[in-house]
Every structure is written in structure tokens, then in C-alpha cells.
RNA sequence: GUGGGUGUAGCUCAAAGGUUAGAGCAUCAGGCUGUGGUCCUGGGGGCUGAGGGUUCGAGACCCUUCACCCACCCCA
């Protein structure tokens, strides 16, 4: 019979990788709390329309990467491919725009995109998401960069670049679009097939192309950054100044563009050369029109997402020594009768107690205990029972002592030695 | 969706068309009474990803298919 395995791009996450996930979340929650973010948990499944309207119906995500199906009632439903859409929906649905002057929220969970898997890219992947609604001032843009910096520092990651850019607002982007199309029309013959398609669709994304020839062309092209309107220019200048005050170095990448339609003004990406081709592991930006476009009041917004799988690849393996607890080795049926009382006492007092469920030779049990890297082994057999004692062996010190056969006293002694071990 | 690479034991990999497909690691059991790691001995474990073909003979060669990996597109 064929083994059933996970769907393509879906994985079991466990062991060392899961430990890194947990560490990342722990560090994240520390700073999201400190900076006043409120955590929310949102549905994984939403109406398809939510994503079509927010992400943009000509983006690749919406066109070919969503897990979409029709449910029994006939509605088109979609497994969320990113977090911001749901966050905006929730902000509007819960009426937060009316009850607080600004809103800082964050969320952690799985996202789904129907893409071809590769290094650092899966169909089910995890994002940590941060959003601020109702603040148009550039100081909050810088605050998010600061937050990113604190996270990276505490996680012990130092090989990365923070790239920033401005993609302007509706007005400056529209007028620039025409300039850009005119330019590329004159150089059409030099562009690759993909870029010719981009020219029709979204010419800004030609800047993303990895083809050398195209890169040469874009080198000669006018840049959106250089034709920002005064408001957008001022916003970016302020942002830069605040970032500098935080003492954070960022690289201005005037070619940086994002794949989602809703971004305005500030955009940023954190990249690492240690990740393979998918080198961006955090990214975000401002979206000052999105809330209104989704049917809410005109409300500024900004946020970013962390790709947890990608970030985990950069997190150094933790070398914290974990407490492997104690093993109970028993010889003979009479000894087994004491198992439950000892297990109860240990568990109550916070000591991990493990033992062999099936009867085995003492040698086998010792081997097992060693295998589990237990720090202590309790040995109980007929000899001990006769004398009313139990043997406690310290595995690393290779010493052992006799204790009275009393679960409470045994547990107290182990606790005392555990503290001494540290 | 497109291109390239790889599929052999739980894991990492051998076997240049010729016996019964091997090794290391892992696992389990022994090495005289009830004591772990090192060492020694032994055991279990495989439809060689699947299906077809060529051949006296296929893990190997050919075709098909599936899976995984990497890359493109795009994105975290």
C-alpha cells in the first residue's frame, strides 16, 4: 500500500526547527508587547473577494497562487495567502476606527499559496504580521524598522540588509507610469519575454527582473523615486531622518518594488544572502488607501510580515542545555508497584520522569536512560525494597547514593541536586 | 506553468548489465548474579519510488508516470 504523505509544499514541522519557531515567536511577543501591539487571531479561510479586492486582481497571487474552492453554499472561499487583507477586514468589521484613534495589531499564523515549492518557499508557510492603522506620520514607519532591528538583534542575526524605498502615492505613481511606459517602448527589443508582459501589466515590476539585459535597460530608465510628489518626498525624508535617529543603517534601493498593488510611499525589505534565491525574509510598507478602498473611512495604514520559515533558517541553533530529567529503572514486579507514586510525586514537583513501559533487563533500562540523556536514574529492585531504600544514580558524575524509599524525600533530593547541577 | 538534478534499509550513501542488493550511523539483543556511554558478537529491517519495455540475465539501459530538491515566474 502506498504511504500517505503530506501534500506538495506542506510539511510537518518539529524538532530543532519548531524550537526556532517558538523562539522567534517568544522574542516577537516581547517586542510587540513593549511597543503596544495587541495580538489577534483571524480566520484562515475568508471570502475570495476579500483578497481579490485588497491584493489586486492582476497580481500573480490572485491570478494563479490562491487555494480557492467553492463551498456547499456556492460561495467562493480562499485560504488566506497573506495577512493584511484579513487584518483590514477585521479592523472594519470590529469597528475599531470608531473606538480608538489608532490601532496597533499583530498576528501569527499559517498562509497558503499554490506555488512551486523551493528553498524557503512552501505552499503552507507561516507569517508574523504587524499592522498600524490610523497613523500617517513617518515616525511610525521608522518605529517598525526599529522593531525589526530589535528582533534581529535579540535573535542573534547579523548578516542582513534592510532596503527601503518609496513607491509614491496614487498621483505620483500614475504620472510616472506613463513616463515609464514611454521609456520602455523605445527599448522594447532589449527586454525579455517576461518583461514584455510586465510592460503591459505593471511596468514597475520590470525593476524586479533578474535578466542581465533587462537590468541594463532599467539602469538607463527614469526612476519613480526621482519623480515623487512633494508630499511623498517629504515623507521619505522624514522617515530617513527618524531611522537615523534610531541609529539604524538602511540601504536605499530605488529599484525596490513590491508585488502587491496596495502599497504607497514607504516600502521595505529585509534580505539575507544566506537564504538562496528567496532572500527576502521580512517585508512590508505603507498602504494609505487600502482601508478606504475596502469600504472604510480614509485611514492610513502600514505593516510588515515576517516569513517565519525563512527567518528560522537564519536563527542560530540554541545551545541551551535542557533538563532531561530523571529515569525510573525497576527490577522485578514489586518495584513496579512503586512506579505510580513516584511518577505522581515527580510530575507534581515539576520533574520529568521517564521509564520503560515494558519489563526489560536493568542493563537495557540503563541504556535507554542514557539514550534519553537523563541526568538521574532511580533504581529500585528487591534488594532496595528489603532495606526500605531506593538508589539514586547521577549519570554524568557516575555516583550513586541510597535514599529512603519515600517519594517525597526522593523528589526533594533530586530537586536539590538539579539546582546543584546548574 | 517552465527548466535542470535526484529517487536503493529509519538516516547518509555503495554496488561500472552477471550469485542471495551491501556499508556506516541508528535500533534491538547478548558479552555469567542488578548498572549506561567506549569496545566485541549477533539480530531485525528493502517489491532498489511506481508501471511497462530491451535482454539468457536490469538497482543499472529505454519509455511512461509519480515524488522530492534547486532554479525561473512571483513572493514572506
Q: What is the pLDDT of residue A319?
A: 64
User: What's the CA A267/C1' B52 distance, rounded, in angstroms?
Assistant: 55
Comparing every residue's Cα with the C1' atom of nucleotide B68, the nearest one is A8
User: What's the CA A5/C1' B16 distance, rounded, in angstroms?
Assistant: 35
A366 touches strand B (CB under 7 A): yes
Q: What is the pLDDT of residue A43?
A: 97
Domain with CATH 3.30.930.10 in chain A: 15-169+229-314
A400 touches strand B (CB under 7 A): yes
One of 3.30.530.20, 3.30.930.10, 3.40.190.10, 3.20.20.150 is the CATH number of A15-169+229-314, namely 3.30.930.10
User: What's the CA A280/C1' B4 distance, rounded, in angstroms?
Assistant: 24
- Neighbour-count burial for A14-38, b at 16+ CB within 10 Å, e otherwise: eeebebbbebbeebbeebbeebebe
A388 touches strand B (CB under 7 A): no
Q: What is the pLDDT of residue A392?
A: 95
Q: What is the pLDDT of residue A422?
A: 58
A398 touches strand B (CB under 7 A): yes
Confidence of residue A324 (pLDDT cuts 50, 70, 90): confident
Average pLDDT of chain A to the nearest whole number: 91
The string of pLDDT tens digits covering residues A304-317 is 999 999 999 999 88
Q: What is the pLDDT of residue A149?
A: 97
Comparing every residue's Cα with the C1' atom of nucleotide B26, the nearest one is A371
Domain with CATH 3.40.50.800 in chain A: 326-416
The answer to whether A88 touches A119, Cβ cutoff 8 Å, is no
Beta-strand ranges (E) seen in A1-51 are: 38-39, 45-47
With DSSP H G I counted as helix, E B as strand and the rest as coil, what are the percentages for chain A, rounded to 5? Answer: 45, 20, 35
Q: What is the DSSP letter of A255?
A: T
The string of pLDDT tens digits covering residues A4-62 is 888 999 999 988 899 999 999 999 999 999 999 999 999 999 999 999 999 888 888 88
User: What's the CA A422/C1' B35 distance, rounded, in angstroms?
Assistant: 25
Q: Quickly tell me which residue has 518539529 as its cell.
A: A14
Q: What is the pLDDT of residue A197?
A: 79
Reported ipTM: the value is 0.86
User: What's the CA A19/C1' B59 distance, rounded, in angstroms?
Assistant: 39
Percent of residues, chain A, with pLDDT higher than 90: 68
Beta-strand ranges (E) seen in A155-249 are: 161-166
Q: List the A103-112 sheet strands across, edge first.
A: A38-39, A103-112, A124-133, A301-307, A280-286, A264-271, A161-166, A251-252
The mean pLDDT value for A280-289 works out to: 96
Beta-strand ranges (E) seen in A209-273 are: 251-252, 264-271
Q: What is the pLDDT of residue A209?
A: 77
- Does the domain made of A326-416 have the CATH classification 3.40.630.10? no
A131 touches strand B (CB under 7 A): no
Distance CA A105, CA A13 (A): 26
Nucleotides of B under 7 A from a protein CB: 1-3, 27-31, 34-37, 67-76
Q: What is the pLDDT of residue A255?
A: 86
The string of pLDDT tens digits covering residues A178-208 is 888 888 888 888 887 777 877 877 788 888 7
The residues near A294 (Cβ < 8 Å, ≥ 6 apart) are A53, A54, A88, A89, A92
DSSP string covering A100-136: -S-EEEEEEEEEE-----BTTB-SEEEEEEEEEES--
Amino acid at each position: 500500500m502506498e504511504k500517505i504523505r503530506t501534500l506538495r509544499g506542506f510539511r510537518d514541522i518539529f524538532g530543532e526547527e519548531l524550537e526556532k519557531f517558538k523562539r522567534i515567536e517568544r522574542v516577537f511577543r516581547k517586542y510587540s508587547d513593549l511597543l503596544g501591539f495587541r495580538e489577534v487571531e483571524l480566520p484562515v479561510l475568508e471570502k475570495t473577494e476579500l483578497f481579490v479586492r485588497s491584493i489586486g486582481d492582476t497580481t500573480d497571487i490572485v491570478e494563479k497562487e490562491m487555494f480557492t474552492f467553492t463551498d456547499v453554499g456556492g460561495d467562493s472561499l480562499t485560504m488566506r495567502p497573506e495577512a493584511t487583507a484579513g487584518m483590514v477586514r477585521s479592523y472594519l468589521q470590529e469597528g475599531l476606527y470608531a473606538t480608538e484613534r489608532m490601532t496597533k495589531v499583530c498576528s501569527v499564523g499559517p498562509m497558503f499559496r499554490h506555488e512551486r515549492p523551493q528553498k524557503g518557499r512552501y505552499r503552507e508557510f507561516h507569517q508574523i504580521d504587524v499592522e498600524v492603522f490610523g497613523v500617517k506620520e513617518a515616525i511610525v514607519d521608522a518605529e517598525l524598522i526599529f522593531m525589526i532591528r530589535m528582533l534581529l538583534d535579540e535573535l542573534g542575526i547579523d548578516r542582513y540588509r534592510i532596503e527601503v524605498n518609496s513607491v509614491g502615492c496614487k498621483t505620483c505613481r500614475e504620472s510616472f507610469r506613463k513616463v515609464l511606459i514611454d521609456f520602455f517602448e523605445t527599448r522594447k527589443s532589449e527586454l525579455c519575454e517576461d518583461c514584455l508582459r510586465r510592460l503591459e501589466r505593471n511596468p514597475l515590476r520590470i525593476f524586479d527582473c533578474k535578466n542581465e539585459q533587462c537590468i541594463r535597460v532599467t539602469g538607463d530608465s527614469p526612476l519613480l523615486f526621482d519623480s515623487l510628489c512633494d508630499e511623498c518626498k517629504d515623507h521619505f525624508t522624514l522617515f530617513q531622518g527618524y531611522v537615523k535617529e534610531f541609529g539604524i543603517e538602511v540601504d536605499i534601493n530605488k529599484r525596490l518594488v513590491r508585488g502587491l498593488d496596495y502599497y504607497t510611499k514607504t516600502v521595505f525589505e529585509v534580505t539575507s544572502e544566506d537564504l538562496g534565491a528567496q532572500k527576502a525574509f521580512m517585508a512590508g510598507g505603507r498602504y494609505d488607501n487600502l482601508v478606504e478602498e475596502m469600504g472604510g473611512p480614509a485611514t492610513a495604514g502600514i505593516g510588515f510580515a515576517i516569513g517565519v520559515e525563512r527567518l528560522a533558517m537564519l536563527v542560530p541553533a540554541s545551545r541551551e542545555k535542557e533538563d532531561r530529567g530523571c529515569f525510573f529503572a525497576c527490577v522485578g514486579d514489586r518495584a513496579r508497584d512503586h512506579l505510580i507514586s513516584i511518577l505522581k510525586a515527580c510530575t507534581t514537583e515539576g520533574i520529568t520522569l521517564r521509564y520503560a513501559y515494558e519489563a526489560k533487563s536493568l542493563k537495557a533500562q540503563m541504556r535507554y536512560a542514557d539514550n534519553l540523556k537523563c541526568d538521574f536514574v532511580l533504581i529500585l529492585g528487591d534488594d532496595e525494597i528489603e532495606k526500605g531504600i531506593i538508589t539514586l544514580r547521577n549519570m554524568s558524575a557516575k555516583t550513586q547514593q541510597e535514599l529512603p524509599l519515600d517519594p517525597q524525600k526522593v523528589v526533594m533530593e533530586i530537586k536539590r541536586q538539579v539546582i546543584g547541577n546548574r
